[in-house]
Every structure is written in structure tokens, then in C-alpha cells.
Amino acid sequence: MTSTAAADGVGSVRPATSSAESGQAEVAAAAGGGRPMAGRTVVVTGASAGIGAAAVRQLVGLGARVVLLGRCPRKAAAVAAATGATPLVADFARLAEVRRVAAELLELCPRIDVLVNNAGGVFPRRVVTEDGNELTFQVNHLAGFLLTGLLLPRLRETAGSRVVVTSSLINPLGRIDLDDLDRSRRRYHQFAAYADSKLANILFARELARRTAPGHPTAAAVHPGLVITEFGRDSWFVRTFYGRPLRLFGARSAAGGAAPLVRLASRPDPAAVNGAYLHRFRRRERVLVGRQARDPELARRLWEVSAELVGLDGLDI
């Protein structure tokens, strides 16, 4: 199976020079300096490369205990060795692995203050997983939905907990068809499938926020910005229409792309952005937000269908 890197973001080329310092400076300024995450546990998926790995570094720097999830054991171990985070391995193309790693997290973490659902990918061909779902939709939406559901009891037990979901400014080009989530009836294109999944991320965050309000966890979706990472390295479309233009328009490093995720993970007032979609640090309601992303009934129905697809239709929330 040809796939992309496990960390979500936009771009396919490495920057010539590192700008980790600039990303960390953004986070430190937003967090007010110091170690505001001391005593907190953060779980980051898609964290073996790209903005996920950068987020791990920044969160550890803010004092958090971080558990990182990655698809590649070697890369996950390397990030863990460099940061002191705890690595776990799971392939989100298999929901059985999501269930296994969720059980490991519940055993490992007496508290979960933040869950960052960052794992994602772009896949050049339509592939159906062993679970019967289209691969892009499963990796980018259903796996995170399942993981969140399985960790929800621990999140509810942790005061001030929150869920952060990596979405994309490409969401307005997506279209959620509840009768064709796997694109078996529509023409498959990797870009369209990716846009669908990023739209689903926003709907998921908004419905989770509605269902848990006024308590916790809170939830928000965020576009990290145009980022140069390994994301999409196996996709001709991403290399051609993202990677090359990004070189011309000065895209951010992985560290800069991680900064909005870390800000949401560390901000003292998560309820202020509960159910929100942010374009980096700025909340968006209409500009850069698809019409379907503003449909609460669609969010409710997508939740119900997603729960049925992953076997959580009895989830009490």
C-alpha cells in the first residue's frame, strides 16, 4: 500500500534550513512563557514526523508529559529519544490497532489532558481497508473518531481536558455524502477524498463540543497553515500542486505549523474556542469554512454514521 507520512499538514519537500526556533518562539509567546503544561498529559497522533513531531517537541518544552503515536516504529522511537516522550505504534488503516493502542493509553495514562488528533494522509488510489472503509476517510476521520470515543471516559475524568483536531483550509472543497462516504459511487480523486476528510474533521470537533458542553472535553479543529513537511511525499498530486508552489510562497516549517496545535493544547481558556474552527490562531466562521461545516444537523448525522462504522454506536454521549 502506498501512503503518505503519518503526520498531517500540507507539502512534500523538506526546508533547506530548520526554523524550529521560530515555531517555538510563537508557542512561548502565546503561552506566556514558563512551563504551563507541567503536570499535564498530552497524546499526539501522527507524531513520528512533520508537525506532529514538532508539536511533541514544543509540548515537552512547555513541561507536558507527552505520549506520541506513530505508524513507523523507527521514526516514533527517534522522536521519543530526542524529546523524552513515550512512543506507541499504531497503523490507523486498521481499526483493531486503534483499539489496541487506546487500551495501552488507558493503562499508561491515569489522566489525559489533551488529545491531539493529527494523524492523516493522502492516498493516490482508492483503497478499501480490512474494516471496509475507504482508506483516506478511515485514517483521517474514522480512526481519530474511534480513538477519541475509546479515550472519552478518561478525558471526562480529567478536568479541563480538550480534543484538538488537525483540519485544513481545503475543507470548503469537500462534500460529505452520508450515502457515499467511501466514494464508491463518486469518481475517486485523492484531493477530493482528502478535502472530504478535512471537512469531516471540523464536523466531528463541532459535534463533540456540542455533546460534551458545558463540561469537558472541549473540542476545536485547526488549520496549521501551509507547511513544508514529508506529508504527501508519495502523492504526485501533492508534490506537483502543493510542494512546488510552497517553495515559491514561503511556507512554514513543521515547527511553525505545530504552533497553532500547541496553542490550543495549552491555552488557559479552552471553552472560549469550544466547537470552533481556527485558521492558525484566528477563529473562522464563514471565510475559509465550507457551507457543510456550518450544518449542525449534518454534524449530528455524521457522528451517528461514524459511530456505527467503527462500532461505537452504543457510545453514551
Active centre residues (catalytic): 194
* CB 54 within 8 Å of CB 83: no
Phi-psi region of 45 (alpha: psi -120 to 50; beta: other; left: phi over 0): beta
* Rama region for 28: left / alpha / beta (φ>0; ψ in -120 to 50; rest): alpha
User: What are the cell numbers at 155?
Assistant: 478525558
Question: Residue 212: which of 148, 285, 293, 147 has the closest Cα?
Answer: 148
Q: Are 129 and 138 in contact (CB under 8 A)?
A: yes
Q: How distant, in Å, are the alpha carbons of 31, 77, 154, 306 from that of 106?
A: 28, 20, 7, 22
Grid-cell match 479541563, residue found = 160
Using DSSP's 3-state secondary structure scheme, residue 84 falls into coil
CB within 8 A of 156, min separation 6: which ones? 212, 215, 216, 217
Which residue reads 523524552 in cell numbers? 84
How many secondary structure helices (H) and strands (E) does the chain include? 11, 8
What does the alpha-carbon distance between residue 13 and residue 294 come to, in Å, rounded to a whole number? Answer: 33
